[in-house]
Structure 1
Amino acid sequence: MNHLPESETVLREQLAAAYRLAAMMGWEDTIYTHFSVRLPGAGEPRFLINPFGLMFDEICASDLIVVDVNGRVLDGKSDYNLAGFTIHSAVHMARDDAHCVMHTHTLAGMAVVACERGLLNLNQISTEFHDRLGYHEYEGVAFNLEERARIQTSLGNNIALMLKHHGLLSVGQSVADAFQIMFYLNRACEIQLATAQLASLSPINEIPDSLAEHVCGQFKGVEHERHVVWDAWVRKLDRLDPSYKD
């Protein structure tokens, strides 16, 4: 089911809330990394993204700029991060269902994407990504628009992407979906990083593929709960600092 609101105002507030929540969780990388959400309407995709130069914890709904897949700023006076545009436009061009795209450079995420085997089935959380996680080879900073086609191929129909030696990416039909996917992908990476620290004390046991597939199916059956959790996150943010709506 597509939960995407029709109002640009609502989308702006939701995306700004995602930035503020990400800052609370320590996901930011100063003024780098980026979240985007596609705006409704026919024709070539247009999407909201953060203007270059703002920290996550200061982004407001009115700060977000509208960009098309050709790189034109359609609304807003500020410039954007070129690497961010390359990555986000690639996904928005290829996936009609990927209304929201989130990209992070977290410590745990960047540690796991540096590992040859990537994300392992070490815990219940990681099984949500069993056969639903793509991998993209590192090509340097994403300034080359020709890389978009390769990002699209690497992502395929998956819900998330491991950008090797770079970071994490999640996609969703709404801000709520993409945020929850990123939350649990990053949490799975944090658990893997913690588990690796214990490897010298005790062997690490992975969940068998057959069981991981079963649990992944269970998670698919309750994906509607992502919006319930998102509403709870937003209520928390509203109690702490509702200025993201400005």
Structure 2
Amino acid sequence: MPASSVQAQVSAQEWQLRQDLAACYRLVAHYGWSDLVFTHISARIPGPDHHFLINPYGLMFDEITASSLVKVDQHCNKLNDSPYSVNPAGFVIHSAIHEAREDAGCVLHTHTRAGVAVSAQKDGVLPLSQQSTFVLASLAYHDYEGVAFRPDEKPRLQADLGHANFMVLRNHGLLVVGKTIADAFLSMYTFEATCQIQLAAQSGGGALTHVDPRIVSGVAESMRVQTGGLGGAFVWPALLRKLQRIDPGYLD
């Protein structure tokens, strides 16, 4: 059953954030990165409190709307009158990052086949493609500790992430941190492409050519030029136009 609109109950800023986050969920579903109902994207609500929006547990990503998103605090207390629950494992990972990183406007986590496959490889992400250079410039790893529902894992997750914006969760999947929802989506698009390309290259059976490490060190400037200094905001309007053509229900 569709969630009742909460537009009149929240600020214009929060409503825009809700629409963008719902769009991100629909786009993740469209690109085939979802895992039924088991992964998460969160967005921090601007302000002094560490409040953020996360998906209602049990809804498929292509069902999520601006109004159905759940607003929670650092202790997983619901801050809006929502009939939906929040996945404890999703809350632990996302709350840990929002708590430690003031710049974490959005945290996006996936369990794609390619992402989990690379996360299981001992050497992790390899410098095999142009896409990989953007990932390797800001990459961290976190060892698998089981399903992440124990709060005691949070300090280790925070320490492993540090200031990185891309993270391989070993034997688990991929995670990105973005200043905005648009930044996080573009980062995950790049991360997922990196993993798919790596697996395709490895499946060829021949010797692999690695990118010169000096190129990785200059990749931040390359990204700035490529997006006109806008980062994810450069592609986000086009993605929203695409979504409005094929799946506009997220706006409600």
What TM-score does the superposition give when structure 1 sets the normalisation length?
A: 0.94
The amino acid of 1:129's aligned partner reads: V
**Aligned to 2:103, what secondary structure does the other structure show?**
coil
1:225 deviates by 4.0
1:120 deviates by 0.7
What TM-score does the superposition give when structure 2 sets the normalisation length?
A: 0.92
1:60 and 2:78 are equivalent in the alignment: no
Q: Which of 164, 167, 170 is residue 170 of structure 2 equivalent to? A: 164
Residue 61 of structure 1 contacts residue 244 of structure 1 at CA under 8 Å; is this kept in 2?
yes
Give the match for residue 74 of structure 2. Answer: 69
Percentage of matched positions with identical amino acids: 46
1:131 deviates by 3.5
Alignment of 1:80-229 (within 5 A): 80-198=86-204, 200=205, 202-221=206-225, 222=227, 223-229=229-235
1:21 and 2:38 are equivalent in the alignment: no
1:216 deviates by 4.3
Give the match for residue 31 of structure 1. Answer: 37
Output the CA distance in 2 between the equivalents of 1:86 and 1:205. 39
CA RMSD of aligned residues (A): 1.4
Gaps of 5+ in 2: 1-10
Output the CA distance in 2 between the equivalents of 1:126 and 1:220. 16
Output the CA distance in 1 between the equivalents of 2:243 and 2:137. 33
1:214 deviates by 2.5
Residue 130 of structure 1 contacts residue 216 of structure 1 at CA under 8 Å; is this kept in 2?
no
Residue 49 of structure 1 contacts residue 66 of structure 1 at CA under 8 Å; is this kept in 2?
yes
- Between 127-136 and 208-217, the greater mean CA deviation after superposition: 208-217
Give the match for residue 52 of structure 2. Answer: 47
Aligned residues: 239
Output the CA distance in 2 between the equivalents of 1:6 and 1:171. 24
Residue 83 of structure 1 contacts residue 143 of structure 1 at CA under 8 Å; is this kept in 2?
yes
Q: Which of 235, 238, 241 is residue 244 of structure 2 equivalent to? A: 238
**Aligned to 1:61, what secondary structure does the other structure show?**
coil
Gaps of 5+ in 1: none
- CA deviations on 1:14-68 (whole Å, 9 max, x unpaired) are 000000011011111011100000011223x000000110000111111000011
